Every structure is written in structure tokens, then in C-alpha cells.
Amino acid sequence: MAEKFAVFLDRDGTINEDTGYIDSPEKLVIIRGASDAIKKLNENEFGVIVISNQSGVGRGYFSKEAAEDVNKKLVKILNKGGAHIDGIYYCPHHPDDNCDCRKPRTGLIEMAKGDLNLDIKKSYVVGDKVSDIELAMNAGAKAILVLTGRGTDERNRLIRQPHYIASNLKEAVEWIIKDSDACA
Ligand SMILES: [Mg+2]
Ligand SMILES: [Zn+2]
């Protein structure tokens, strides 16, 4: 089977509002246009994978179960909006744990690649933080910074320049579809 191209989406600040540590499903607020944007990726046959740092677990602020409840609710809301998620992966560790999966390390992408047969070089990472941009660079994918969430502040801290800066996920997806057509 041919390898699939994927779009890796950060969660907080990219799909839903970053309201601090999100420890319960009630705190999820989806950013306007996010469901439609993901739907568009589905229609264009990209794998859509959510990858998220949830150090609140490692810090003892909330449990793994709570983190997974939030993820389940997110998928449910997106499904209601007609959008499909192919996989959702998160790092539960404390930054001091030096794990391989905390972004900008590539462990979450490696996991998804193993599970879903993905071509990372032709894939994209969309996120609102420097760690998302660095993750893309470290993995050899294309990087898109969104200016939702922490994006406006993080833009001033960039280490490497992303391939594109989008005002939100909707605009990021429009750029991805054009870019992948141009590269085909
Ligand atoms: Mg984020
Ligand atoms: Zn980790």
C-alpha cells in the first residue's frame, strides 16, 4: 500500500482555544472554522493526526484518563462537524523526563508513522508554538505556524522559519492543499 501524506495538527491553540491546562472536556472550545478545515483535509485524502504535549499529566495536575477524556470529546465534536481524525497521540511526560515524545522531539510522529504508514517528507505540521515548528523541521516535514493560540507571541521566538504562517487552521489548510498540488 502506498504511503499516505499526513497533516499533523497540534491540539491546544490550533484546533481548540488554549485556555491553559485543559483538564476536563467542558473546557474545550473549538476554534471557529477548525472542523471545516479538517473536513477539507479528509476530502483531499490527507491523514489527519492530532499530536499534543500534555505535561499537565507529568506535573500531576490531571490524570491520563482526564487527558484522554478531553481527546475523546474533541474527536466527538469534530465528528459532529463532519471531520474525521485518523489518530490522536499525546506526550504525558514532564519536561524534565527527557522523553522522546515531547515536541519538538519526534516520538509522536514516529508512533503515528508506524501505525498508519505515512510519508513524513511529504507531510505537514501545523501548530501555534516554536516547538511545533521545530518538530516539523526535526522530522523533515513542512512547518506551518498558526497565529491562533500563542502563535502571535511565539512568532517572535522562532528558531527556524516555518514554510508558511497562517492566521488560523482554515488558512493553513488552504495553503497545504495548494502546496501539495504544486509538489505533486
Ligand atoms: Mg499549541
Ligand atoms: Zn513524552
The tens digit of pLDDT for each residue in 145-169 reads 999 999 999 999 999 999 999 999 9
Say which DSSP state 24 is in. S
Distance 180 CA to ligand 2 centre (A): 30
Closest-approaching ligand to the CA atom of 15? 1
Closest-approaching ligand to the CA atom of 31? 1
* Residue-level pLDDT at 182: 86
Closest-approaching ligand to the CA atom of 169? 1
Confidence band of 4 (pLDDT split at 50, 70, 90): confident
Distance 54 CA to ligand 2 centre (A): 9
Assess whether 36 carries a catalytic annotation.
no
pLDDT 10s digits, 68-118: 999 999 999 999 999 999 999 999 999 999 999 999 999 999 999 999 999
Cell digits of residue 156? 517572535
Distance 56 CA to ligand 2 centre (A): 12
Which residues have CB atoms below 5 A from the ion given as ligand 2? Answer: 91, 93, 99, 101-102
Superfamily of domain 6-120+132-166 in the CATH hierarchy = HAD superfamily/HAD-like (3.40.50.1000)
Distance 30 CA to ligand 1 centre (A): 13
Q: Is the pTM of this model over 0.85?
A: yes
Separation CA 35–CA 129 (nearest Å):
21
- Residue 101's SS3 state is coil
Distance 171 CA to ligand 1 centre (A): 17
Would you say 48 and 91 are in contact if contact means Cβ atoms under 8 Å apart?
A: no
Closest-approaching ligand to the CA atom of 18? 1
Assess whether 96 carries a catalytic annotation.
no
**What's the full length of the chain, in residues?**
184
Mean pLDDT, the chain, whole residue set: 96
Q: Where are the domains of the chain?
A: 6-120+132-166
Distance 53 CA to ligand 2 centre (A): 8
Would you say 59 and 94 are in contact if contact means Cβ atoms under 8 Å apart?
A: yes
> Which helix (H) or strand (E) is 169 found in, with range?
helix 169-183
